[in-house]
């Protein structure tokens, strides 16, 4: 299985307000899709606060990719919340194996034999 991550488009061309994650199976196609919004994960909170854009205002928690030159429009995004969301989602579909406690985590060394007291 694979996980595909794309930008989630708004109704405007080249404007995005989150990420879309999809679990893909090689034979059965898309098994599940989830949307992680930039607003819910505080991705552009610092940028929006600095520019005075709040919830319900045009451009809040989204970016536009309208210009071919200049820095990428997602520059300065705080990806901490999105990373946490992606990690949680992938662990649901591909959980990390549980540690095997039946064997020691470090190799055991052979026990030393007591000295016989004889000198050679």
Other residues' Cβ atoms within 10 Å of the Cβ of residue 82:
21
Sign (positive or negative) of CA dihedral 93, 22, 74, 55? negative
* Reported pTM: 0.74
Q: Which among 44, 49, 54 has a CA at the least distance from the CA of 75?
A: 44
100 located within any domain: no
72 domain-assigned? yes
Per-residue CA distances from 56 to 53, 59, 62, 87, 113 (Å): 9, 9, 12, 29, 76
- 21 within a domain of the structure (yes/no): yes
- Residue 114 inside a domain? The answer is no
Q: What is the pLDDT along the chain (120 residues), one digit of tens a residue?
A: 899 999 999 999 999 999 999 999 999 999 999 999 999 999 999 999 999 999 999 999 999 987 788 888 888 899 999 999 999 999 998 877 666 656 555 455 555 565 555 554
Radius of gyration of the chain (CA): 26
**What domain range includes position 12?**
2-93
């Amino acid at each position: 299985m694979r996980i595909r991550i794309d930008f989630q488009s708004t109704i405007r061309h080249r404007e995005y307000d989150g990420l879309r994650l999809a679990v893909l199976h090689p034979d059965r196609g898309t098994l599940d899709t989830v949307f992680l919004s930039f607003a819910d994960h505080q991705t552009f909170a610092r940028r929006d606060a600095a520019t005075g854009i709040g919830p319900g205002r045009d451009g809040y928690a989204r970016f536009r990719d309208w210009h071919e030159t200049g820095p990428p429009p997602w520059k300065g995004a705080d990806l901490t919340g999105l990373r946490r969301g992606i990690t949680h989602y992938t662990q649901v579909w591909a959980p990390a194996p549980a540690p095997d406690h039946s064997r020691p985590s470090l190799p055991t060394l052979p026990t030393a034999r007591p000295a016989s007291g004889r000198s050679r």
